[in-house]
């Protein structure tokens, strides 16, 4: 097949006119907004023009279906409330170009998808979660956005377009191309990233309970200061993790609230989020043990108590070897010596699709690692390189 | 003179009926509330009965004046919104009992004061601040409480009672008895504390500015995490202070806010309060240098920037040697070997009165260090011991 990078870039720029923010190349195209629905209708036209059969499912996932067994390419075209022009759009338009070129060449058989509400206006990766069977439609229908709108009412806006759910048995696999949304490729001047796995996430609320006291009359040695416990805990886990983590492991204390949070009062309580991500479920478990042990020890040592909230988790998803191998071979063809393997620290629709079929992912660099912002961008040479890798991988798989 | 501890305790319990919270011995008697004004009117009656000349000044400070040059004893009878029965009330009622006993004994000449709004409904130690000349009346009148009520309107509630300001020249010195409001005496089973100085306070808002980032896609080594900077800063100053501080020095990070404060986002900003207190102004300055240097170094090392807010400060106030010596001698008489010298970590009216005359302070234990709460309490044997120390000190000074 012969892909056309100019046509691909032209479509990408056309798509960003739907919900254009007027600031840089940014878009405002949340799931089920007028801009999102208009973009999907435009995309359906392009799919039809490419010779694909257009199919909206009950939640607004848009498929461009090829005949017979096919490889499925795509991502999502909804955006964050203040989003970038690439994010999921890139994978959908790259998929469209490969499917179109394949159709023009008389094969292989390539289908395209734009999942709905990947950005989680209602749930988490909602459209692919329903299709993949992670949550049922009834449960999803009760989800609400920040304004109280239900998912049921939101998807009703597209009811005139929709048919039933697409049978996943017709797909041999799913490949999602995406911007990295992080700085690894950009900072190392690497053009292509082949994803090894989508990391698992653990997230837990932790609270240290000490003794609220007067900050003037309470000597240091009699304090049970919850902020000091938090700070000591942070130092302790940073130290103990060193023996367990890889350069791809991440952990974050992103949320913290002191009580009563006044400059003249020794904090009696510190509640904070502890989140950690890694591609290896065993490593996630080992980190959890360190977290619990360190928190317990610090509480004991300083006369505080510690409470652990529910452990929320998503399991790591390893990419399929065959699909990943095809992407690696394609990357070596297109960008010899200038590609790498890395985990995805962010969630993607591929996590849900993996419940149905083999999946793999391909990254191109995000300039300065910026994403979910109007100034998200990628060099057009890198976008085209990613497209070529995707096309070569599809050819190789279908050969 | 012959003091009467029973009469003193009876008066203390009578006073707590004004604004009684109904929870333990707690009181709700904020400055200028009906309960506060009623309590002051009752107190004025006791002063009159004790042979003192009652005088309310324009801000509601209540004096019971003895003839000729006199020593001034007292504190305040207003309370926190949820206050304890002792706090300032103790020093006022102890002063009343000593003045009454002195009057009965035909000398020495002892006056009593209950300052208004020590608890800072409007400003900081407002009544004594105006009398001591720390702020002028016009400035004070513009202060407002949490509901927007001005100090001018609040003090107008007592206008029918008030005369001019009392001439401080008639007083030879001021002694304030108070509960410690901290755990030092209680935890060391020490009955009496003689105050060496009222500590100075420094308070500064500090902000670390890093880079807000995706907590999944941003590798640890590329993060500029503002919470991590705060935690490192805290550890660093704890370490460096060790060479500078005394067991009485205190420092507190009581307020901290992360931005955007979300579990999946690397914090881009951390703003926090840094407060430190000590009786030695030089030490406060040395600590400030450590704070600024440590924050700058951590910001440099981790690629963040740091902003320092205005440095707010109150200077330490050393107690007068003669008055303090009299208290120490009295303490050794009443509680031989069971008293100690300690700084006051909390502010008191004595800080403002020190602008006008020599001052000293005397502490009795707070059970479990609790204050500014309904369950604030002190053993009655300790209250009586404090009263005796105060009476002996007054006798010694006047001898």
- B328-343, pLDDT tens digit by residue? 999 999 999 999 999 9
Residue A362 tokens read as: 């391909």
Contact B345 A254 (CB under 8 A): no
The sign one gets for the Cα dihedral A244, A246, A248, A254 is: positive
- Give the mean pLDDT of B131-138: 95
Q: Which of A149-153, A370-374, B165-169, B193-197 has the lowest mean pLDDT?
A: A370-374
- Mode of pairing for the β-strands spanning B317-318 and A317-318: unpaired
Q: How far is B365 from chain A (nearest CA, A)?
A: 12
Q: H helices of A52-131, where?
A: 87-105, 126-131
Mean pLDDT over each residue of chain B, to the nearest integer:
95
Q: Compute the C-alpha angle A175/A349/A81, nearest 5°.
A: 125
CA dihedral A209, A211, A213, A216 (to 10 degrees): -90
Is the pLDDT higher at B35 or at A261? B35
Is the pLDDT higher at A236 or at A312? A236
Q: What CA–CA distance (Å, rounded) separates A140 from A208? A: 35
Give the mutation candidate from A217, A236, A251 for the B interface (greatest B CB count, under 10 A): A217
Q: What CA–CA distance (Å, rounded) separates A382 from A272? A: 39
Q: What CA–CA distance (Å, rounded) separates A64 from A43? A: 9
Count of A-B CB contacts under 8 Å: 179
- pLDDT class of A399 with cuts at 50, 70, 90: confident
Phi and psi for B316 in degrees, rounded to 5?
A: -65, 150
**Percent over 90 (pLDDT), chain B:** 89
pLDDT at B81: 87
Q: How far is B386 from chain A (nearest CA, A)?
A: 19
Q: What CA–CA distance (Å, rounded) separates A301 from A140? A: 45
pLDDT at B384: 98
Q: Which of A42-46, A312-316, B76-80 has the lowest mean pLDDT?
A: A312-316
Tell whether A183 is within 8 A of chain B (Cβ).
yes
Contact B222 A266 (CB under 8 A): no
- Give the mean pLDDT of B199-225: 93
Which of 286-325 (B) contact A at CB < 8 A? none
Q: What CA–CA distance (Å, rounded) separates B49 from B43? A: 10
Tell whether B345 is within 8 A of chain A (Cβ).
yes
Are the beta carbons of A22 and A30 closer than 8 angstroms?
A: no
- Mode of pairing for the β-strands spanning B339-344 and B192-198: parallel
C-alpha separations of B210 from A182, A239, B28, B229 in Å: 16, 22, 44, 9
Contact B252 A264 (CB under 8 A): yes
> Residue A316 above 90 pLDDT?
yes
- pLDDT per residue as tens digits for the range A56-81: 999 999 999 999 999 999 999 999 88
Contact A218 B266 (CB under 8 A): no
> Residue A128 above 90 pLDDT?
yes
pLDDT at B220: 96
Tell whether A247 is within 8 A of chain B (Cβ).
yes
Q: What is the CA radius of gyration of chain B?
A: 23
**Percent over 70 (pLDDT), chain B:** 100
Is the pLDDT higher at B323 or at A145? B323
- pLDDT class of A260 with cuts at 50, 70, 90: confident
DSSP B19-78: TB-SSTT-B---TTSHHHHHHHHHHHHHHHHTTPEEEE-TT--EEEEPSSSEEEEEEE--
**Could you tell me which of A38, A19, A44 has the C-alpha nearest to residue A29?**
A19
**pTM (predicted TM-score):** 0.83
Can you give chain A as a three-state secondary structure string? CCCCHHHHHHHHHHHCCCCECCCCCCECCCCCCHHHHHHHHHHHHHHHHCCCEEEECCCCCEEEECCCCEEEEEEECCCCCCECCCHHHHHHHHHHHHHHHHHHHCCCCEEEEEECCCCCCCCCCHHHHHHCCCCCHHHHHCCECCCCCEHHHHHHCCHHHECCCCCHHHEEEEEEEEECCCCHHHHCCCCEEEEEEECEEEEEEEEEECCCEECCCCCHHHCCCHHHHHHHHHHHHHHHHCCCCCCCCEEECCCEEEECCCCCEECCEEEEEEEEEECCHHHHHHHHHHHHHHHHHHHHHHCCEEEEEEEEEECCEECCHHHHHHHHHHHHHHCCCCEEEEEECCCCHHHHHCCCCCEEEEEECCHHHCCCCCCCCCCHHHHHHHHHHHHHHHHHHHC
Going along B92-170, which residue ranges are E strands?
110-115
> Residue B380 above 90 pLDDT?
yes
- Mode of pairing for the β-strands spanning A62-65 and A171-179: unpaired
Give the mutation candidate from A215, A237, A238, A275 for the B interface (greatest B CB count, under 10 A): A215
> Residue B313 above 90 pLDDT?
no
End-to-end Cα distance, chain B = 12
Q: What is the predicted ipTM?
A: 0.84
**Could you tell me which of A103, A39, A41, A38 has the C-alpha nearest to residue A70?**
A103
- Give the mean pLDDT of B50-55: 98
If you measure CA to CA, which chain A residue comes closest to B263? Answer: A254
Are the beta carbons of B175 and B359 closer than 8 angstroms?
A: yes
- Give the mean pLDDT of A294-303: 97
Omega before B305 within 30 of 0, i.e. cis: no
Are the beta carbons of B351 and B125 closer than 8 angstroms?
A: yes
pLDDT at B82: 86
Residue B81 tokens read as: 């919104």
Tell whether B119 is within 8 A of chain A (Cβ).
no
pLDDT at A151: 97
- pLDDT per residue as tens digits for the range B82-100: 899 999 999 999 999 999 9
**Percent over 90 (pLDDT), chain A:** 89
- Give the mean pLDDT of A305-309: 97
Contact A182 B218 (CB under 8 A): yes
- pLDDT class of A197 with cuts at 50, 70, 90: very high
pLDDT at B398: 87
Chain B residues inside the 8 Å CB shell of A180:
217
pLDDT at B399: 79
Contact A346 B183 (CB under 8 A): no
- Give the mean pLDDT of A82-94: 96
- pLDDT per residue as tens digits for the range A223-240: 999 999 999 999 999 999
> Residue A319 above 90 pLDDT?
yes
Q: What CA–CA distance (Å, rounded) separates A124 from A101? A: 33
> Residue A82 above 90 pLDDT?
no
SS3 A92: helix
pLDDT at A398: 86
């Amino acid at each position: 097949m012969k892909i056309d990078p100019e046509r691909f870039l032209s479509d990408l720029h056309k798509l960003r006119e739907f919900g254009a923010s007027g600031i840089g190349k940014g878009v405002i195209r949340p799931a089920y907004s007028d801009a999102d629905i208009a973009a999907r209708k435009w995309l359906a036209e392009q799919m039809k023009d490419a010779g694909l059969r257009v199919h909206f499912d009950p939640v607004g996932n848009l498929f461009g279906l090829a005949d017979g067994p096919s490889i499925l390419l795509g991502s999502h075209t909804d955006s964050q409330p203040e989003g970038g022009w690439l994010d999921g759009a890139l994978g959908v338009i790259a998929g469209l170009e490969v499917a179109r070129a394949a159709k023009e060449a008389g094969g292989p058989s390539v289908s395209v998808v734009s999942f709905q509400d990947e950005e989680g206006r209602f749930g988490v990766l909602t459209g692919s979660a329903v299709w993949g069977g992670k949550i049922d439609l009834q449960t999803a229908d009760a989800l609400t956005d920040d304004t109280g709108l239900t998912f049921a009412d939101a998807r009703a806006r597209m009811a005139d377009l929709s048919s039933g759910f697409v049978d996943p048995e017709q797909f041999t696999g799913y490949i999602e191309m995406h911007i990295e949304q992080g700085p690894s490729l950009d900072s190392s001047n690497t053009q292509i990233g082949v994803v090894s796995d989508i990391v698992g996430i653990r997230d837990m609320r932790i609270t240290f309970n000490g003794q609220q006291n007067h900050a003037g009359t309470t000597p240091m040695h009699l304090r049970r200061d919850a902020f000091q416990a938090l700070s000591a805990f942070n130092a302790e886990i940073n130290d103990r993790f060193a023996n367990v983590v890889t350069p791809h492991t991440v952990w974050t204390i992103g949320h913290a609230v002191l009580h009563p949070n006044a400059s003249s009062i020794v904090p009696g309580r510190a509640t904070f989020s502890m989140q950690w991500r890694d591609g290896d479920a065993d490593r996630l478990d080992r980190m959890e043990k360190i977290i619990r042990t360190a928190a317990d020890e610090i509480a004991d040592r300083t006369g505080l108590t510690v409470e652990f909230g529910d452990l929320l988790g998503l399991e790591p998803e390893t990419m399929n070897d065959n699909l990943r191998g095809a992407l690696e071979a394609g990357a070596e063809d297109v960008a010899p010596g200038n590609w790498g393997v890395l985990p995805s620290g962010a969630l993607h629709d591929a996590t849900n699709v993996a419940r149905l079929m083999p999946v793999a992912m391909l990254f191109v660099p995000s300039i300065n690692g910026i994403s979910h912002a109007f100034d998200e961008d990628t060099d057009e040479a890198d976008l085209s390189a990613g497209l070529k890798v995707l096309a070569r991988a599809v050819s190789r798989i279908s050969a």
